[in-house]
Structure 1
């Protein structure tokens, strides 16, 4: 009996140090989320709106440029100068609008991904707490090595927490 108790006491500290590690693939989870598909559609629609606006402005610039070219020889110098300035200002507006649209598109995309990422983080925390994991790492993040034999793949559990199939 003493030997059994002594053996149990010897192995007790080892069980106390047993740690659970998990890993998951966030890219797989993100692609399965309906929020991701919806956000991609919204971003594409916004991009299309921006492209249409730029196209309209470029068409206007082309039209005014062609009109200027046709009338160039018959215009007084002060009118030529004014028209050239108008064309230059329109060109600068197109450039500024293009930059603003690009920034708006990036911000909208970042905001939508932030919401999706937060849902995943909450699900990872819940799985970690429930499963008593010490670490849960995302294999998508470029971690140099994860021993899949010593770490449990919790992607499925996270997907279930998010209500994904």
Structure 2
């Protein structure tokens, strides 16, 4: 009996807390996509990606041209010239593979450098809204959450956007 009374006393404050708790949800992806700095960063990343694609296409064209030339003339080459040409083609292909890997790493690094400050700003705004609004939890719905109750959770996306304007 004492254990039952003790358990009820311990659970009562939790029940009262849960009834008064405020929960919110936000669409951080929508906020990010509406930011001018995100649009600018995305444009810069797309331009850099396009430049890398053009560079890689030029390398592919060069390899293809030299490979076609080799295929046309290999029957007339002596063994030494054939081996030199094959080695040259192999080096070009390795250079292409390395450039592809370097470009992917550079693009990932650029993406992180450009997007990290934007994400940090959004997270700061969400935290500020949470603290100022007395929220227990603010969930990001852009992560594919299957259901959030509109009656038990408030959409604070507009509040976070307003907070983002204050952070500028």
Q: Shared fold (TM-score greater than 0.5)?
A: yes
TM-score (norm 1): 0.82
- Structure 1 residues 128-156: Cα deviation after superposition (integer angstroms, max 9, x where no partner): 11111111111122334322101111100
Return the alpha-carbon distance in structure 2 between the equivalents of residues 16 and 44 of structure 1: 46
Of residues 9, 20, 23, the one that matches 1:21 is 23
Of residues 103, 123, 126, the one that matches 1:124 is 126
Instruction: State the Cα RMSD in Å.
Output: 2.2
Q: Structure 2 stretches of 5 or more lacking a match?
A: 1-14
User: Alignment length, in residue pairs?
Assistant: 152
Q: CA deviation at 1:63?
A: 2.3
Q: CA deviation at 1:49?
A: 1.2
TM-score (norm 2): 0.80
Match of 2:7 in 1: none
Of residues 88, 112, 127, the one that matches 1:110 is 112
Return the alpha-carbon distance in structure 1 between the equivalents of residues 143 and 17 of structure 2: 31
Q: Structure 1 stretches of 5 or more lacking a match?
A: 1-12
Match of 2:150 in 1: 148
Q: CA deviation at 1:99?
A: 2.2
Q: CA deviation at 1:14?
A: 5.2
Give the direction of change, closer, same or farther, for the CA distance of 1:87–1:19 in structure 2 (3 Å limit).
Answer: same
